[in-house]
Chain A
């Protein structure tokens, strides 16, 4: 399984969980579907923490991991990045829709129903 897919699945578990999870908990949640080494899960969580996508908390002698942002927040931020890329700044992305004024982007993103 590709590392990218694994990172996505680990993030999904953290997003879906109601509280921060330990490596063991993540491992168990993922392990139900497939055979995965504990250390692999640890490495993935470590990588995600280095990218600041996951925050590490120490509680009861064990590290617990929580997503830095909710899925909805991170999605909104990503869409905002895509929509606010303008050619005169850094030619970052190419879009199907034309440029939107920043006010309209914010309004549209705020109108996006947040999942809880």
Chain B
């Protein structure tokens, strides 16, 4: 029974819920809590998978009798499967972070070499680098020596206030270590067998992290410069005709909408999503523990009194 429950929960969490959560719009008003919810969702589905694998043989054993020879086989097999799941996840995490670190390291080195140092003296911040080029581009390179990279075109298209807003946005990514969040979701994505993979969590979390950084930049630089910068930068990239079904267009519109009015974040929604995240995390444990507790209580000597 426990295994069945855990299995049903795991399947619901990994197949049905991500689609619903990815389609929802309320996370735009509680991005930090929504990221937590995505993390809880992912972790809980892993816990459910482990729970099924570990609980199933125990239940079969009880049905078949403890001294049945298949019991040992089932137990060993289930431990092997559980270990495979955990090891696969760990290996994926190590691979993803090692690859990302190497790529960032090389990227940072090249950005330092190509930097037009004379063009950003007045911008301040030792981590800023400016590249030549007519393509407006701003991004950050996380790491021990993080960098914020702007293209020359950004400095031409945006005024000083808007550039500052962009820098604040990128610094928020670096300060909050968003790359670690993305790495963990990427590792999970790659550890899942190909037919079962879904990009929904990756893309949703990516957009939510952009919103978190937008909020941080808005607090420091004000919403108007950031919104103008976002609109101008994306207008300046000639991709409209290249990409008919542009998924980035939709997320850009959502970010712009959030910056249009008063601060969109709702404390109530954040608390609710946070509680849901914690609830999800303890659910598999509860399912595992409750029947055991039930039996333990049944065996309690004073129960019969």
User: Which residues from chain A sit less than 8 Å from chain B, CB to CB?
Assistant: 4-5, 7-8, 11, 51, 53, 71-72, 74-76, 78-79, 81-83, 85, 87-101, 103-104, 107-109, 111-113, 115
Contacts and interface: CB of A to CB of B under 8 A. Distances in A.
A17 B290 CA distance: 76
Interface of B: 96, 99-100, 103-104, 107, 109-115, 117, 131-135, 137-142, 149, 151, 166, 169-170, 173, 178-179, 182-183, 185-186, 189-190, 199, 202-203, 206, 209-210, 230, 233-234, 237-239, 242-243, 246-249, 251-252
A98 B186 contact: no
Given A109-B135, A115-B132, A104 B243 contact: yes
The 8 A-B pairs at the shortest CB distance, nearest first, are namely A98-B248, A104-B239, A104-B242, A91-B182, A96-B138, A95-B139, A91-B186, A94-B173
Contacts of A107: 238-239, 242
A68 to B, nearest CB: 11
A82 B140 CA distance: 9
B100 A91 contact: yes
B239 A79 contact: no
A78 B169 CA distance: 21
B239 A108 contact: yes
Given A75-B114, A92-B107, A97-B248, A104 B237 contact: yes
A28 to B, nearest CB: 21
15 contacts: A8-B113, A8-B117, A75-B114, A87-B203, A91-B96, A94-B179, A94-B209, A96-B166, A96-B170, A98-B247, A100-B237, A104-B237, A104-B239, A108-B238, A111-B134
Nearest to B229: A96
Nearest to B181: A91
A51 B115 CA distance: 17
A74 B135 CA distance: 14
Contacts of B242: 101, 103-104, 107
A92 B239 contact: no
A15 to B, nearest CB: 9
Given A81-B107, A94-B209, A71 B132 contact: yes
B182 A101 contact: no
Contacts of B112: 4, 7-8
Contact of A79 (B104, B133, B234): B133
Contacts of B238: 104, 107-108, 111
